[in-house]
Structure 1
Amino acid sequence: MNKELIINAHHGNVELALLEDKKLVELHHESSNTRFAVGDLYLGKVKKLIPGLNAAFVDVGYERDAFLHYTDLSPYARSILRFTQLAINNKSPEGFDFSRFRNEPEIVKTGKITEVLNGRPNVLVQILKEPISTKGPRLSCEISLPGRFVVLTPFNDIIAVSKKIHSSDERKRLQKIVEAIRPKNFGVIVRTAAEGKNTAELHDDLRTLVEMWKTMQRNLRGATPPQKILSERDRTTSILRDLLNASFNRIVVNDKNLYNDARSYIQKIAPDKQDIVSHYTGSAPVFDAFGITKQIKSSFGKTVNLDSGVYLIIEPTEALHVIDVNSGYKSASSNQEQNAVGANLEAAAEIARQLRLRDLGGIIIIDFIDMKQAEHKRAVYEAMQRYMANDRARHTILPISKFGVMQITRQRVRPEVNISTSEQCPTCRGTGKIGSSVLLTDEIEKNLQYLLKNRHSGLTLQVNPILYAFLKKGVYNQQWKWYFRYRQWINIRPDPSCQLVEYRFLDKNGEEIKLAGA
């Protein structure tokens, strides 16, 4: 699988598009004034204890108080509270020696929030979930600093190796290396990317994270809540850190400064891959040049159409997301069961992509086309598991129920990506909205292919006069392109009664042909 990262910087904002085999699978937006990003460390002030919820509301500077539940306190919560006070009151510019810090007794899993945060102290917290809708940030005291190969977890001495590393010999090797280089008072989680890495590479990564911890200690000195203490790396470098592997073959950046930053970062973490970074200097916008704008327009919105005619209806609600699978005009065979299975398998691949692309979280209900045989339901379930294997968000997939419905829960840590695919209609000057016209010719041609495939001949296309002028523009216009491509002459007729993006196909007898989904 080839992975490409296209980075578009404009007006102080950065957009990142991740492509897998030329198909858009993730879209990230980073504002120049991004605050409360997942992974940021804040010094907060406990404002209110809610015994009924066994939780606390903490002021971290957001318009609404952040939420901290007892289960997110960490067993070492008392140690974190004492460390926070020591770091704030420390007079030395370098901070105190953390290796000599003595941990407090661990808290019990079934304890009460009032037993730990009584007195409403200042506390060091990490953003677990960004603010979503009317909710403030979700916090955690389980402090962790992620690196390329390892994750540093202070206040414990636990060493864990990613379960995705399947070789027992490799797991033992990594365990021994980390045991030898682990600093005192720090636990280490070995990431999947560490597989096959040597001691020097792991040690360099660990040393970088320890320096980050020391920087955080210095930032805490004399701090008053609410205050940001340490920022997670920007979205560009964090994506490179988490995703860069052998299948990454190109990174394109349209900003010179970002290009230099990305190149220097990759030179540090993977010197052999620094040449995959290139600076885009073309005249067209970088997203247009790589076909990303068109994919964005066709991938967002209530209806998502697939090339075969299968289409999805995606409906968001306050509590969950509902996805309905429709076969459209797909008809691979005369067997209804086989058609249903084929449509569902194709839809499963697109649904897995849509979940990543829109970053949908919470409960997702998928209404697949009804299948009668148990092995077909199992095949769709297993296919969904395969397609979602590359999804970095934690998720759980349940088999298709007897009602033909699949249930998925997916981790929600950021607001979902929601891009409007409608534009103001020039005919009614904004009093109504139409589907994005940038995809209209693609939609017409897809329906034309379907009609020709089903042996329709003598076709006539009726369109608005403005669209007629566009299709007939130039000597080698769209009408001639269709003729050379399909070896059939398609008559095009202007019809003032058609709205700007409305069109009709007529058969050789002048009768309108009804299309699925039209």
Structure 2
Amino acid sequence: MSNELVINSTQKGGRIALLQDKRIVEYHLEESESSFTVGDIYLGVVRKLVPGLNAAFIDIGYEKDAFLHYLDLGPNINSLNKFTKETIAKRNNTHKLNGFQLEPEIDKLGKISQVLSKNSPILVQVVKEPISTKGPRLSCEISIAGRYIVLVPFSNTVNISKKITDKEERQRLLRLLSSIRPQNFGIIVRTVAEGKDVAELDKDLSNLVEKWEQGYKTLKNAKPKEKIIGEMGRASSMLRDMLNESFDSITVDDKDIYDEIKLYIRTIAPDKEKILKLYNGKTKIFESFGIEKQLKSIFGRSVSLPGGGYVIIEHTEALHVIDVNSGNKSNSESDQETTAFNVNMEAAKEIARQLRVRDMGGIIVVDFIDMKKADNKRLIYEKMKEEMKNDRSKFTILPLTKFGLMQITRQRVRPELNITTGENCPTCGGTGKITASILVADLVENNLDYILTKQNEKDLSIVLHPYLHAYFVAGFPSRRMKWFFKYKRWVKIVKDTSLGITEYKFKNHMGEDIEMSPAEVIV
């Protein structure tokens, strides 16, 4: 499986698309003015204590105060507060914690008022970006992520990723990291550290300690609500988390971003520097890679499946609902159970992709087509787990209920991404809406293929708007001529100015309309 990262620079920031086998699996918008990114560390001010919630509201500069629950303070909050106050007061002269006396851990069942006081400074980290009407969600368990390890100040433990299952490797990493760990700094070993030698791990650790040192220097002269340590850009963080042997290329269309990523790759993986390319093509980079068309087709309410089925995605304030439908084309199997199983298997793969692309979080309920066999239900459950194993967000999947419903929870740390795929209609001037016009030619050809190959129509005519007529008949060889070579049948194309640009009709040899329901459309 190939992985490609395509980065498009815009006036407002950048657009990042992760492609697997040329298909989008992750899409991110990164605005240059955006702040309060997951991982950012701020010097906040306690504005309000709420004993009923056992939480506090912290001012970090956002229009709404951020939320900090007692359980997110971390056991070493007193040590963090002590370090913060001593650094601000200039009584602490080093970022190192060698001689720092750690305070006793707080009680897990304690009260927020016992730990924090109003208007006091506090060092906090963003764990969830502002979503809807809510401000950021914060934690005081400060952590700085590297490629192989995560540095945790005011801790003395070494934890190994549960995904590293080899017992000898776990023990090797534990011995190794315990020997190079600075005093009063804990370490979390990431999955990608498996098999890495001491030099690579030590280099990563040194980079993180250096980042902590820069944060200490900023904190010494910081004002309330100031950012102390910023998380790296979305593109660099994706490379940090995902860059491996399966990456084929990283393509950027901006020289400054190219230089920034080149410097970062040189730091974390010099051998991967050659896969970074600066795009200089005449067409826009997302057009060249076919990303624009994919974005139009995958962010709609209805998403088609390769075999003819489709899924409907609806969003509510409480949860997301996904309905799986077979469509009229999914009827080639001998019985209903097989049809339902095959469509559900395709749907599971597409739903896992949609969750990543749209970054949907919270509660997701999937209504699969009813199946009677318990083995088929189990296979759908296993398929969904398999497809979601590469998802970087934490998730939980429950088996199908007797009503055919699957419940999924997915970590929600930033607002859900949504792209409007409707356009103002050129015919009605905006009083109504049309689906994305960029897809209409594909829809015509996909339905033509179905009618000629599955329904075996002989004398076929297509009636459509003059613009589409010109698209199919102009040039040599024209698209209609290519149809002739492919299907060995000549298709008559008729202009009709009364039709909208996205309207078209298929007619048989008797001039009768061939009905095509929305469920039969394949994108």
Smaller-chain TM-score bracket = over 0.9
Matching residue of 1:378:
378
Matching residue of 2:446:
446
SS at match of 2:514: coil
- Aligned counterparts, 1:487-498, within 5 A: 487-498=488-499
Return the letter of the residue paired with 2:269: A
8 Å contact from structure 1 (residues 90, 96) kept in 2: no
Quote how far apart the aligned CAs of 1:78 are: 1.1
1:502 aligns with 2:503: yes
Matching residue of 1:45:
45
8 Å contact from structure 2 (residues 14, 29) kept in 1: yes
8 Å contact from structure 2 (residues 258, 278) kept in 1: yes
Q: Once the two structures are superposed, what CA deviation does each residue of 1:275-318 show, in whole Å capped at 9, x if it has no partner? A: 01011101111111111111111111111112321111100111
Matching residue of 1:224:
223
1:459 aligns with 2:460: yes
Quote how far apart the aligned CAs of 1:120 are: 4.0
Matching residue of 1:485:
486
Quote how far apart the aligned CAs of 1:330 are: 1.7
- For residues 438 and 119 of structure 1, the distance between their equivalents in structure 2, rounded to whole angstroms, comes to 55
Return the letter of the residue paired with 2:279: Y
Q: Once the two structures are superposed, what CA deviation does each residue of 1:345-395 show, in whole Å capped at 9, x if it has no partner? A: 001000000000000000001011111111111110100000000001000
Matching residue of 1:470:
471
Specify whether residues 504 and 2 from structure 1 end up closer, same or farther in structure 2 by C-alpha distance, changes over 3 A only.
same
- For residues 21 and 165 of structure 2, the distance between their equivalents in structure 1, rounded to whole angstroms, comes to 26
SS at match of 1:143: coil
Return the letter of the residue paired with 2:484: Y
Matching residue of 1:361:
361
8 Å contact from structure 2 (residues 441, 468) kept in 1: no
- For residues 164 and 21 of structure 1, the distance between their equivalents in structure 2, rounded to whole angstroms, comes to 25
Matching residue of 1:110:
109
Q: Once the two structures are superposed, what CA deviation does each residue of 1:138-174 show, in whole Å capped at 9, x if it has no partner? A: 0000100000110000111010111111211111111
SS at match of 2:513: coil
- Aligned counterparts, 1:220-369, within 5 A: 220-328=219-327, 329-369=329-369
In the alignment, structure 1 segments of 5+ residues that lack a partner are: none
In the alignment, structure 2 segments of 5+ residues that lack a partner are: none
Quote how far apart the aligned CAs of 1:448 are: 1.1
Q: Once the two structures are superposed, what CA deviation does each residue of 1:230-284 show, in whole Å capped at 9, x if it has no partner? A: 1011112111100001111111111112112212211221111110101110111
Which deviates further from its counterpart, 214-223 or 488-497?
A: 488-497
- For residues 271 and 471 of structure 1, the distance between their equivalents in structure 2, rounded to whole angstroms, comes to 48
Matching residue of 2:197:
198
Return the letter of the residue paired with 1:361: G
- For residues 476 and 140 of structure 2, the distance between their equivalents in structure 1, rounded to whole angstroms, comes to 68
Q: Between Structure 1 and Structure 2, how many residues are aligned?
A: 517
Quote how far apart the aligned CAs of 1:26 are: 0.3
- For residues 471 and 119 of structure 1, the distance between their equivalents in structure 2, rounded to whole angstroms, comes to 70
Matching residue of 2:66:
66
Matching residue of 2:516:
515
Quote how far apart the aligned CAs of 1:96 are: 5.4
SS at match of 1:467: helix
Specify whether residues 120 and 91 from structure 1 end up closer, same or farther in structure 2 by C-alpha distance, changes over 3 A only.
closer
SS at match of 1:99: coil
- For residues 116 and 488 of structure 2, the distance between their equivalents in structure 1, rounded to whole angstroms, comes to 77
1:432 aligns with 2:393: no
Quote how far apart the aligned CAs of 1:21 are: 1.3
Return the letter of the residue paired with 2:24: L
Quote how far apart the aligned CAs of 1:105 are: 1.0
- For residues 465 and 283 of structure 1, the distance between their equivalents in structure 2, rounded to whole angstroms, comes to 28
1:399 aligns with 2:399: yes
8 Å contact from structure 1 (residues 424, 432) kept in 2: yes
SS at match of 1:33: coil
Quote how far apart the aligned CAs of 1:215 are: 1.0
Compute the TM-score of the two structures, normalised by the length of structure 1. 0.98
8 Å contact from structure 1 (residues 89, 222) kept in 2: no
**Overall identity of the aligned pairs, in %:** 52
- For residues 391 and 511 of structure 2, the distance between their equivalents in structure 1, rounded to whole angstroms, comes to 50
Quote how far apart the aligned CAs of 1:334 are: 2.2
Matching residue of 2:97:
98
Specify whether residues 85 and 290 from structure 1 end up closer, same or farther in structure 2 by C-alpha distance, changes over 3 A only.
same
Compute the TM-score of the two structures, normalised by the length of structure 2. 0.97
- For residues 272 and 230 of structure 1, the distance between their equivalents in structure 2, rounded to whole angstroms, comes to 28
Matching residue of 2:8:
8
Q: Once the two structures are superposed, what CA deviation does each residue of 1:392-435 show, in whole Å capped at 9, x if it has no partner? A: 10000011101111110000001111111111211122222211
Return the letter of the residue paired with 1:126: Q
Quote how far apart the aligned CAs of 1:10 are: 2.0
Quote how far apart the aligned CAs of 1:129 are: 0.3
- For residues 306 and 210 of structure 1, the distance between their equivalents in structure 2, rounded to whole angstroms, comes to 48
Which deviates further from its counterpart, 259-268 or 68-77?
A: 259-268
Quote how far apart the aligned CAs of 1:471 are: 2.2
8 Å contact from structure 2 (residues 48, 118) kept in 1: no
SS at match of 1:100: coil
- For residues 346 and 475 of structure 2, the distance between their equivalents in structure 1, rounded to whole angstroms, comes to 38
Return the letter of the residue paired with 1:349: K
8 Å contact from structure 1 (residues 150, 206) kept in 2: yes
Specify whether residues 487 and 351 from structure 1 end up closer, same or farther in structure 2 by C-alpha distance, changes over 3 A only.
same
8 Å contact from structure 2 (residues 147, 241) kept in 1: yes
Which deviates further from its counterpart, 11-20 or 185-194?
A: 11-20
Return the letter of the residue paired with 2:300: G
8 Å contact from structure 1 (residues 95, 221) kept in 2: no
Quote how far apart the aligned CAs of 1:121 are: 1.6
SS at match of 1:462: strand
- For residues 107 and 278 of structure 2, the distance between their equivalents in structure 1, rounded to whole angstroms, comes to 53
- For residues 118 and 400 of structure 2, the distance between their equivalents in structure 1, rounded to whole angstroms, comes to 50
- For residues 90 and 437 of structure 2, the distance between their equivalents in structure 1, rounded to whole angstroms, comes to 62
- For residues 356 and 3 of structure 1, the distance between their equivalents in structure 2, rounded to whole angstroms, comes to 15
- Deviating above 4 A after TM superposition, structure 1's stretches of 4 or more consecutive aligned residues are none
Quote how far apart the aligned CAs of 1:475 are: 4.1
Quote how far apart the aligned CAs of 1:79 are: 1.2
- For residues 158 and 278 of structure 2, the distance between their equivalents in structure 1, rounded to whole angstroms, comes to 40
CA RMSD of aligned residues (A): 1.3
8 Å contact from structure 1 (residues 348, 387) kept in 2: yes
Q: Once the two structures are superposed, what CA deviation does each residue of 1:25-73 show, in whole Å capped at 9, x if it has no partner? A: 0011111122100000000011111111111110000000000011111
SS at match of 1:14: strand
